[in-house]
Structure 1
Amino acid sequence: MSKSIGFYCPHCGTRMHVSSRKKPSPLLHELIVQCRNENCLASFAASLEMVRPIQNSINPNPDVQTGLPQHKRQWELELEHQLKSLELLPEIADEQKNYVEGFISALFHASTIDLTRAQTYRQRLQQIKLL
Structure 2
Amino acid sequence: MIVGIGMDLVDTSQIEQMLHKESRLFIQSLLTSREMDIVEKVGDERRRAEWIAGRYAAKEALLKALGSQRGEGIGMQDIEVLPESSGRPHCHLSAHVIQRIGFPVVCNLTITHTASTAGAMVVVERVASAMLV
Q: Fold conserved (TM > 0.5)?
A: no
* TM-score calculated relative to the size of structure 1: 0.25
Structure showing greater Rg: 1
Question: Hey, which of these two has a bigger chunk of helix by percent?
Answer: 2
* TM-score calculated relative to the size of structure 2: 0.25
